[in-house]
Amino acid sequence: MEKYSGILLLLLPILMSFVAVSLNSGYANAAVFLPPEDKPLVRHYYKKLNTCANVEPFVQHQVKLYWDKDKTITAKLLKLLYADCMVNGCDASVLLTGPNTERNSSKNARLDGYLLIDKIKKVLEIRCPRTVSCADILNLAVRDAVHYAGAPSYPVFLGRRDGVESKAEWIDYPSPSMSWEEGLAYFESKNLDVQDFVTLLGAHTMGQAHCSSFYDRLYDFQGTGKPDPSMKRSVLVKLRDQCPKNSKNDSPVYFNEEYGSNYTFTNKLYTKVLAHESLLRVDQQLSYGSDTGELVDEYAKSLELFRRGFALSISRMGGLKVLTGKNGEIRQDCKFTNKNNPNIN
């Protein structure tokens, strides 16, 4: 597992530079570092085509206005991107509203961030009509939101088109109580790897989990009628107080209380894993796999290593099963396909 040791800190800047250089020279021939795609995405896609040269500053400005008022938008957008890309690919299908859609599924009841994406889309439709996809907007907005929270501002590959259907039955999120083996298998089924799995779970450092997501760890771990023995006793006592037994209370609990109020991007999730203080079993489980455990150790020791790893892995997730060329469409309203848009005659 030496490839995930300290040498990664030296390797990641080279990988990121190589990807950026390759994209600046044209299409993404650096796909060895990205998941397979039907067609490659392009850095500064709209600028190169001269269709919406200032799309990135436009998005960045709107995200900054929103983020200044509501720091929780970072976690909300991250969850929205995950819900989109890990279910049928990054095609903005999660934004479509209507019966039996992903958005209206009970499994996505807590998703948020739609209003900001709609705001950005309205601005871009005024400046660059029928040009910028909702899928690209979501990826750009996430990049800017996590950057304001403390992550690096990584290059976003563009040229996605929007999907024209969305089905609740596509949703296949795994349980937050899964083992590390099950979690890794899920990520690998999406063409992501062990580094992506461990790294992207680090996004939990900026959000909240509800009592129902870890209730079993507090009172009935794997049907034993006892708490999860891997949870630190002081943490167990505290969480039981916040999530009482047999209560319908499903309150949100910060992953990191020290930083929860301002949603700062940190590597604290990994230090909590090492201290057996994780809320979710899947996070705590990272310490038990040889490869996952080594990455946890490295990220816990180095915020910079985590920052660079996060930039790479979220870029890879943003390239999953994208629609390009003549596939899909450019929606005029992210909530509707153009065919079903009530505002299009």
Is residue 84 marked as binding? Answer: yes
Tell which phi-psi region holds residue 130, choosing left (phi > 0), alpha (psi between -120 and 50) or beta: left
Q: Is 123 annotated as a binding residue?
A: no
**To which H or E segment does residue 253 belong?**
strand 252-254
Strands 157-158 and 42-43 come out as antiparallel
**Is 337 annotated to bind ligand?**
no
251 in a labelled binding site: no
Alpha-carbon distance 173 to 94, whole Å? 13
* Helical residues (DSSP H) of the chain, grouped into ranges: 7-24, 45-48, 55-69, 73-85, 114-127, 134-149, 180-189, 194-201, 211-219, 233-242, 257-260, 268-274, 281-285, 290-301, 303-317
Q: Say if CB 148 and CB 63 are below 8 A apart.
A: yes
**89 known member of a binding site:** yes
> Are 141 and 59 in contact, with CB atoms under 8 Å apart?
yes
Residue 193 annotated as binding site: no
Please count the CA atoms within 13 angstroms of the CA of 326 that sit on its side-chain side: 0
| Residue 70 to residue 60: CA distance in whole angstroms | 15
CA distances from 153 to 44, 59, 130 (A): 14, 13, 26
- 204 labelled ligand-binding: yes
d(CA 324, CA 328): 7
Distances in Å between the Cα of 267 and the Cα atoms of 150, 263, 273, 286, 339 are 11, 12, 11, 14, 44
Burial category of 3 from C-beta neighbours within 10 Å (exposed 0-12, middle 13-18, buried 19 and up): exposed
- 65: which strand partners? none
Cβ distance 195 to 313 under 8 Å?
Answer: yes
Binding residue positions for Ca(2+): 84, 87, 89, 91, 93, 102, 205
Binding residue positions for substrate: 174
Binding residue positions for heme b: 204
Binding residue positions: 84, 87, 89, 91, 93, 102, 174, 204-205
